[in-house]
Chains A and B, each alone.
Chain A
C-alpha cells in the first residue's frame, strides 16, 4: 500500500517523536542554539546509541539497512522540535557521499557518533548550481593541489572532514571534470571563517589555498564527481523536505493553539472565518508538502536516475513555496507576539525560511524539474 509505514518505521518515528517531546523543549533548544558549537554532543551520542546515525546505511557498512525513507522520518520528527543537531550535513549528505564512494572505513566512526562532516557544494558565483565549480585541483608533484573558495559550508565549524568538489578538467560550469575530495578540516591551506546563520545553524566560508590531496583523498571517480554528488544531494533534498514538513506541522499546530486561546473582541481569534480559512489553507499546504516529501524519499530509496531528481525537485519547489506561505501566515496570525525572538514560532519561521533556499530555492527547482522532463541524462 502506498505510503504505509512498516512496523520498524513506525517504531523509529515514535522513538524520535518521543525524544523531541520529552527532551527537546524550546528553552533547551534555545540554549543549544546559543552554545559555542550550536548543537549538543550529548544528544549526538544519544542519536548514535539509539541507532539513528546508522539507520540510512547498508548493514554491510555497519548501518541498519534503512535508507532515505528512514532518514526522512527522523528528520521530519526532528523538524517538529527544531533540533539543531547537524543530522542533514553529517549523516544524510556527508554520510550519503561516503556510502556512495564505498568509504565504509569512515562510516563506522560516523555511525558511532565520532565523525562530523561538511560538504562544500556551493561557491560564491554559483548560486545553486552544483556544476558551477571554479575551485581548481591541479597536479603538483605526485599529488593534487586544491585552491578556491566554498560558500556557506554548513557544519564546517564542527567538521572533522570537508568534502570538496574541485575541478580536475573542463570549464567552470562543465558537468564533467569535477572530482570530490575528502579533506581533513585542519589540513594545511584550509581556512575557515565561521559564523552563525539566520536559523541558528553554523556555517563557514572555506578558503582553500594549495591544499594537498593524494589519491586516497578522492571520493569516487576522478572527473566524475558530479555523478556522485548530484544523487546524494537529491536524497538530501528529499530528506530536507521531510524536515520542512515537520517544521510546517509545528507552525500549523502552534498557530492553531494560539488563535484558539487568544481572545479579542470577547471571542477567540479562531472564531473569525477569515482566519479559519487561512488556517485551512495552511493545513492543506502542510499535508501536501508531507505527501511530496514522502514521495521524494520513497523515490530516493528506489534507486537513482532522473525520476529521483525530478521527485526531489518537485518536492523542494513545492516545500519552498508553501513553506514560505505557511511561515508568513503563522507569524501574521500570532500578531506582535509572532515578531518576538522569545516566541518559538519566530524560530520555526526562520528555519522554514532557511530551508527555502537550501539546495536551491523554488525557482531553481521549478527550472530543474522542467529541464529534466525532456528525457535528458538520468
Chain B
C-alpha cells in the first residue's frame, strides 16, 4: 500500500495543468477566482475549448468521443480543473443523460445526441423533482399519455437547474398509474422548443437565478424519444444514482477555497495581528483541512477500487455527504473571516467589468451570497438525509 499515484498519472496531471494554464481564458479564470457571475458563454466556451483538445467528454469511452480515461485520470482531471479555477462542466449532458443514452439508448438516439453533448452544441437540463416529489422521487405525477407515435405530456417539474439555458430536458414521467409507483415511470427526452413548455425562474435566497420551474401543457413528444422500455424509467434513475459520483467530492474546488480562506485570513486583522495567527481561527482552518484530507483519502480509495473493476456503490453517498458539508463549512469560515464586511449586499460587485471600488475588501462581496447559496448542496442531488438512508439500507442492511 502506498500513496503514490505513479509517474504516468503524475505526467497526466502535469499535462492537464499545463493545458489549463495555456487554454483557460483569463477573464473566465478571473471571474472564478473572484466569485463573479459566469455567463452561459463562459461555461460553454470552456467546454468547447476542452472539446477541441479531445477532452469534451471526460468520463466517456472513446467510441462515443470520450478520451477513455481511467478512473484515476478522471479524478485527476476533476481535481486539477476544480483547483485551477475552471468553470464546472454542466453535468446534465455529460454525466447524466449522456451515460444513460450510452447504456440504454437506441442507435438513433446515440447518433443524434451524444456528439452534440460532447461538443457542447446542445445543453441539457434534468426534469426529475416535482413540487410534491422531492426525496420521494418515485411519487412523481407528470403524466405522459400515449397517442399513437406520440406522448402527450402534462405536469410540472421544479428545481430544474439551467432550464433557462437548456435546449433539451430529460424527464421522468408517469406512463402508468395503475401499478406500484416505481413501475409506471418512463424516461423521455424532450426538446425545450416544443410548444407547451414554459420555464419560470425561481430566485434563491441570495438573489441568484439558477433553478426554475418547468411547466408542460399538452407537450407532444415522439415515442422515439423514450429511452429504454416503457415503464422502465426507474431502472435508469437508479443507474444514475451511482454513476460518476466520485466527482461529487469536489476535492479540487475545496482545495481552492481552502487556499482562498488562508489568504483572506492572512489579510484580515484581529487585534492588530493577522486573523490567521488567531489560535481559534487557525484551529478552524486546520480542522477544515483535515476534513478535506479525510475526504480526499477516502475518494482515492474509491477511485482505486474502481480502477480494480469495482463499481461505485453506496460510497458515493458518503462522498456526497462529507463533500457538501465541507463546502458549506469552508463557505462559512470565509464569511466569518471578513467580519462585518459580510453584511453589505452588493450584487453589482459580482458583475464582471464593474469598476467601482468595492465596499469592503475586494474579496468580500461574494462570500455571504456563496454561503447562502451553498446551503443547497446538502439538499440537492438526493438530500443528505436520503444519502444517510442509502448507507443505512445498502451498507448497514437496516
- What is A's interface to B at a CB cutoff of 8 Å? 122, 124-129, 132, 151-152, 172-173, 193, 195-199, 201, 203, 205, 263-266, 272, 274-275, 324, 328, 331-332, 335-336, 338-342, 346-347, 349-350, 353-354, 357, 361, 363, 366-367
- A331: chain B residues at CB < 8 Å are 375, 379
Structural contact, B343 and A198, CB atoms closer than 8 A: yes
A265 to B182, CA, bound (A): 12
Most buried by A among B378, B379, B388: B379
The one of B134, B271, B341, B368 in contact with A336, judged by C-beta atoms closer than 8 angstroms, is B134
Structural contact, B280 and A152, CB atoms closer than 8 A: no
28 interchain pairs (CB within 8 A)?
Answer: A125-B269, A127-B268, A127-B271, A127-B339, A132-B272, A152-B343, A152-B360, A173-B271, A198-B344, A198-B368, A264-B135, A265-B136, A266-B136, A272-B385, A331-B375, A332-B375, A335-B379, A335-B383, A336-B211, A336-B376, A336-B379, A339-B376, A340-B205, A349-B375, A350-B372, A354-B343, A357-B342, A363-B336
**Interface residue SS majority, chain B:** mixed
Q: Rank and list the top 7 A-B pairs by shortest CB-CB distance, nearest first.
A: A346-B205, A264-B136, A152-B340, A197-B343, A341-B203, A265-B136, A127-B339
Structural contact, B343 and A357, CB atoms closer than 8 A: yes
Counting CB contacts under 8 A, is B116 at the interface?
A: no
Structural contact, B345 and A338, CB atoms closer than 8 A: no
- B132: chain A residues at CB < 8 Å are 263
Structural contact, A335 and B135, CB atoms closer than 8 A: yes
Counting CB contacts under 8 A, is B204 at the interface?
A: yes
Q: Per-position contact with A for B241-273: 1 when CB-CB < 8 Å, else 0?
A: 000000000000000000000000000111110
Structural contact, B280 and A339, CB atoms closer than 8 A: no
Structural contact, B204 and A122, CB atoms closer than 8 A: no
Q: Distance in Å from the Cβ of A79 to the closest Cβ of chain B? A: 18
Structural contact, A195 and B271, CB atoms closer than 8 A: no
Q: Total number of A-B contacts with CB less than 8 angstroms?
A: 131
Structural contact, B345 and A195, CB atoms closer than 8 A: yes
- B388: chain A residues at CB < 8 Å are 274
- B380: chain A residues at CB < 8 Å are 336
A132 to B158, CA, bound (A): 49
- B372: chain A residues at CB < 8 Å are 198, 346, 349-350, 353
- A265: chain B residues at CB < 8 Å are 135-136, 139
Counting CB contacts under 8 A, is B395 at the interface?
A: no
Counting CB contacts under 8 A, is B346 at the interface?
A: yes
Structural contact, A195 and B344, CB atoms closer than 8 A: yes
Counting CB contacts under 8 A, is B207 at the interface?
A: yes
A372 to B132, CA, bound (A): 53
Structural contact, A196 and B345, CB atoms closer than 8 A: yes
Q: Which residue of B lies closest to A129 (CB)?
A: B271
The one of A152, A193, A332, A361 in contact with B336, judged by C-beta atoms closer than 8 angstroms, is A361
Structural contact, A336 and B129, CB atoms closer than 8 A: yes
The one of B270, B360, B368 in contact with A124, judged by C-beta atoms closer than 8 angstroms, is B360
Q: Distance in Å from the Cβ of A44 to the closest Cβ of chain B? A: 22
Counting CB contacts under 8 A, is B202 at the interface?
A: yes
A304 to B393, CA, bound (A): 57
- A263: chain B residues at CB < 8 Å are 132
Q: Distance in Å from the Cβ of B184 to the closest Cβ of chain A? A: 16
- B272: chain A residues at CB < 8 Å are 125, 132, 172-173
A265 to B342, CA, bound (A): 39
